[in-house]
């Protein structure tokens, strides 16, 4: 017999299979020996009360042999002799999952990626963190696996209407991720594990007969008769295909400029901008777990904060428990922050973006910004703040920073605490970098966050500028059903850069969706 049970356990009990077996036996009215095995179907932590509980749903095998968790199976076809081919520009989650979907449909993917493979990319990241020198084609956003590779690998998404989340998680497991991502409420993989998973995906794509080309930055589209006839890369190579998936991410400003200059329709898009905040992890653990020391069986605590300040939304974004603040710029002279964490989340810091929603009207009505009203307005606003931040840091990706209480008082901090940010920090007044429509809501929100999480609003925390690449500042429009661009029948804008996804899982689902649509019509 197979039966499902739910239990509310202490953290130490939830990691003890023997205890779970005993509970199963008692719940089923059987002896312990009758339970041949079980697997967890759902697991979440409830830290709302004084006692921390772990809720688990268990699939148990009683008086019958244990069977492993059922995984989804995938049928990737050999496309060596196939004539139908699709160019995918960008090897981020959207591009990679589009390629995998094409292989399942028996169509040949040709991936053109501007950056390097994961291994070469790691060396460029080391130079950036250590020497403050950026490779504009190989960094935290550009290269194999896109912005997702050296990320936290949080796989939690609310976009459950956009595709099959379970399929995406199973694909990650198929390529080497731990199966716990299938049942944890907030699954994550970790920066140390992602590169190997991405490498396995590349290997499969090539083994099936797909092409995976690095250092092939797309620089032009040759257009004829409302179609993209060919795609030109930086080394003057030309590629032709039945369809083109444009999955270049939110940082490919040259692609947005290329489309704009070629009069291919794009639109300015609202996004969120702000700062990255870092606390000692122990402080966040104390607040969230109501304790003085976190129990070994509990993960580093996270938080999720939202506050309306005079009708403007301020919210936490991409919170990284036990993580590192990373320099995520893609150009010289611009400072962009993001965060990552290893699978164990065992660094002594907790960081998170705290960002303010920005609309086009905020930019246009602000005369100080001097930004003209067109499809690239939001992108140039984003760039301007990143340049201000770089200048305030003093160069080499040193970031301007302020203690949290000092930030709200617009007071320069006399000293800064230790931080995970490797290029270093420079004590600065962030109200001089951020426009007041960003600074004011942030300052007020920190005080409110301190009321929701007692101890959060403290000078032990630092505020670092700037968190600016939360989503794309541009939308590349597409037909709601056909998914192709309204002016170019065989161009398929896809993923985060086109404005149809935010985060790894939603970008991956969008890649699958676009590829399935192409397969249905070519």
Ligand X SMILES: Cc1cc2nc3c(=O)[nH]c(=O)nc-3n(C[C@H](O)[C@H](O)[C@H](O)COP(=O)(O)OP(=O)(O)OC[C@H]3O[C@@H](n4cnc5c(N)ncnc54)[C@H](O)[C@@H]3O)c2cc1C
| Cα distance between residue 202 and residue 197, in whole Å | 9
| Cα distance between residue 126 and residue 499, in whole Å | 30
Q: How far is the CB of 248 from ligand X (least distance, A)?
A: 4
- Confirm if 145 and 99 have CB atoms less than 8 A apart: no
The three-class DSSP label of residue 331 is coil
Q: How far is the CB of 459 from ligand X (least distance, A)?
A: 26
Sole binder of ligand X in the list 109, 115, 342, 353 (CB under 6 A): 115
Sole binder of ligand X in the list 11, 109, 210, 249 (CB under 6 A): 249
Q: How many CA atoms lie within 13 A of 77 on its CB side?
A: 13
Q: How far is the CB of 330 from ligand X (least distance, A)?
A: 9
Task: Please say which residue, 76 or 256, places its beta carbon nearer to ligand X.
Answer: 256
Q: Which residues contact 113 (CB under 8 A, 6 or more apart)?
A: 90, 91, 95, 143, 144, 212, 213, 214, 215, 216
Q: Binding to ligand X (CB under 6 A): which residues in 334-373? A: 338, 340
Q: How far is the CB of 318 from ligand X (least distance, A)?
A: 5
Name the CA dihedral angle for 233, 92, 256, 218, rounded to a multiple of 10 degrees.
0
Name the CA dihedral angle for 268, 221, 333, 315, rounded to a multiple of 10 degrees.
30
Q: How far is the CB of 308 from ligand X (least distance, A)?
A: 24
The three-class DSSP label of residue 322 is coil
Residue 378 within binding range of ligand X, rule CB under 6 A: no
Sign of CA dihedral 189, 182, 78, 514: negative
Q: How far is the CB of 150 from ligand X (least distance, A)?
A: 6
Sole binder of ligand X in the list 182, 197, 318, 476 (CB under 6 A): 318
Q: Which two tokens stand for residue 494?
A: 């896809």
* Residue 159: alpha-carbon gap to chain centroid: 13
Sole binder of ligand X in the list 11, 93, 195, 435 (CB under 6 A): 93
**Number of chain positions touching ligand X (CB under 6 A):** 43
> What residues pair up with 232 in beta bridges, in sequence order?
220, 238
Task: Please say which residue, 217 or 475, places its beta carbon nearer to ligand X.
Answer: 217
Task: Please say which residue, 94 or 462, places its beta carbon nearer to ligand X.
Answer: 94
| Cα distance between residue 506 and residue 512, in whole Å | 10
Sole binder of ligand X in the list 152, 211, 285, 386 (CB under 6 A): 152
Residue 507 within binding range of ligand X, rule CB under 6 A: yes
| Cα distance between residue 346 and residue 463, in whole Å | 21
Sole binder of ligand X in the list 125, 243, 247, 430 (CB under 6 A): 247
Q: How far is the CB of 20 from ligand X (least distance, A)?
A: 29
| Cα distance between residue 233 and residue 68, in whole Å | 47
Sole binder of ligand X in the list 91, 434, 465, 474 (CB under 6 A): 91
Residue 139 within binding range of ligand X, rule CB under 6 A: no
Task: Please say which residue, 37 or 477, places its beta carbon nearer to ligand X.
Answer: 477
Sole binder of ligand X in the list 208, 326, 443, 509 (CB under 6 A): 326
| Cα distance between residue 473 and residue 502, in whole Å | 12
End-to-end CA distance of the chain: 47
Sole binder of ligand X in the list 58, 60, 89, 272 (CB under 6 A): 89
Residue 400 within binding range of ligand X, rule CB under 6 A: no
Task: Please say which residue, 99 or 255, places its beta carbon nearer to ligand X.
Answer: 255
- Confirm if 497 and 245 have CB atoms less than 8 A apart: no
Find the part of the chain contacting ligand X (CB under 6 A) among 152-160, 271-279, 403-411, 435-443.
Answer: 152-160
Roughly what angle, to the nearest 10 degrees, separates helices 165-174 and 93-104?
Answer: 90
| Cα distance between residue 112 and residue 311, in whole Å | 43
Sole binder of ligand X in the list 101, 135, 199, 248 (CB under 6 A): 248
- Confirm if 387 and 380 have CB atoms less than 8 A apart: no
- Confirm if 507 and 232 have CB atoms less than 8 A apart: no
Residue 420 within binding range of ligand X, rule CB under 6 A: no
Q: How far is the CB of 70 from ligand X (least distance, A)?
A: 26
Residue 245 within binding range of ligand X, rule CB under 6 A: no
Task: Please say which residue, 330 or 413, places its beta carbon nearer to ligand X.
Answer: 330
Site pattern 486..505 for ligand X (x: CB under 6 A): ---------xxx---xxxx-
Q: Which two tokens stand for residue 220?
A: 């032009």
Sole binder of ligand X in the list 148, 274, 400, 441 (CB under 6 A): 148
Q: Binding to ligand X (CB under 6 A): which residues in 95-114? A: 95, 112-114
- Confirm if 11 and 54 have CB atoms less than 8 A apart: yes
Q: How many CA atoms lie within 13 A of 80 on its CB side?
A: 5
Q: How far is the CB of 198 from ligand X (least distance, A)?
A: 10
| Cα distance between residue 496 and residue 230, in whole Å | 23
Residue 140 within binding range of ligand X, rule CB under 6 A: yes
Task: Please say which residue, 431 or 466, places its beta carbon nearer to ligand X.
Answer: 466
| Cα distance between residue 248 and residue 90, in whole Å | 5
Site pattern 196..225 for ligand X (x: CB under 6 A): ---------------------xx-------
Task: Please say which residue, 137 or 406, places its beta carbon nearer to ligand X.
Answer: 137
> What residues pair up with 389 in beta bridges, in sequence order?
none
Q: How far is the CB of 118 from ligand X (least distance, A)?
A: 11
Where do contacts with ligand X occur on this chain (CB under 6 A)? 89-95, 112-115, 140-143, 146-148, 150-154, 217-218, 247-249, 252, 255, 318, 326, 328, 338, 340, 495-497, 501-504, 507
């Amino acid at each position: 017999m197979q039966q499902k049970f739910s239990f509310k356990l202490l953290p130490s009990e939830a990691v003890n299979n023997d205890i779970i077996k005993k509970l199963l036996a008692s719940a089923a009215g059987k002896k312990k020996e009758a339970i041949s095995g079980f697997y967890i179907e759902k697991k979440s932590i409830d830290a709302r009360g004084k006692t921390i509980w772990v809720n688990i749903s268990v699939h148990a095998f009683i008086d019958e042999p244990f069977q492993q968790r059922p995984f989804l199976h995938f049928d990737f076809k050999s496309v060596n002799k196939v004539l139908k081919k699709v160019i995918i520009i960008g090897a981020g989650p959207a591009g990679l999952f589009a390629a995998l979907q094409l292989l399942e449909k028996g169509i040949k993917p040709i991936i053109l990626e501007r950056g390097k493979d994961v291994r070469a990319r790691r060396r460029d990241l080391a130079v950036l963190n250590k020497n403050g020198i950026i490779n504009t084609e190989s960094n935290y956003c550009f290269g194999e696996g896109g912005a997702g590779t050296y990320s936290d690998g949080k796989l939690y998404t609310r976009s459950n209407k956009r595709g099959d989340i379970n399929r995406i998680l199973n694909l990650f497991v198929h390529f080497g991720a731990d199966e716990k991502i299938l049942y944890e409420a907030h699954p994550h993989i970790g920066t140390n594990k992602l590169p190997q998973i991405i490498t396995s995906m590349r290997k499969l794509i090539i083994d099936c007969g797909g092409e995976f080309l690095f250092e092939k930055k797309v620089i032009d589209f040759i257009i004829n008769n409302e179609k993209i006839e060919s795609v030109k890369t930086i080394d003057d190579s030309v590629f032709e295909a039945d369809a083109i998936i444009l999955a270049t991410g939110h940082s490919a400003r040259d692609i947005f400029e290329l489309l704009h200059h070629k009069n291919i329709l794009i639109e300015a898009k609202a996004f969120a901008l702000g700062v990255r905040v870092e606390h000692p992890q122990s402080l966040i653990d104390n607040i969230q777990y109501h304790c003085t020391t976190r129990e070994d069986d509990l993960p580093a605590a996270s938080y999720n904060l939202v506050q309306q300040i005079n009708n403007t939304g301020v919210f936490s974004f991409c919170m990284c428990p036990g993580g590192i603040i990373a320099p995520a710029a893609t150009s010289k002279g611009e400072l962009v922050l993001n965060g990552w964490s290893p699978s164990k989340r065992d660094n002594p810091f907790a960081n998170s973006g705290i960002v303010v929603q920005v609309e086009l009207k905020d930019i246009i009505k602000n005369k100080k910004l001097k930004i003209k009203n067109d499809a690239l307005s939001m992108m140039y606003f984003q760039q301007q703040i990143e340049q201000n931040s770089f200048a305030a840091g003093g160069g080499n990706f040193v970031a301007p920073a302020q203690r949290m209480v000092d930030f709200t008082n617009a007071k320069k901090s006399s000293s800064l605490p230790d931080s995970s940010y490797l290029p270093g920090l420079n004590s600065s007044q962030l109200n001089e970098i951020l426009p007041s429509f960003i600074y004011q809501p942030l300052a007020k929100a920190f005080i409110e966050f301190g009321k929701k999480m007692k101890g959060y609003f403290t000078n032990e925390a630092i505020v670092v500028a700037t968190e600016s690449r939360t989503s794309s500042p541009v939308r590349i429009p597409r037909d709601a059903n056909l998914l192709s661009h309204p002016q170019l029948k065989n161009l398929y804008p896809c993923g985060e850069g086109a404005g149809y996804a935010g985060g790894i899982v939603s970008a991956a689902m969008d890649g699958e969706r676009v590829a399935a649509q192409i397969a249905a019509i070519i």
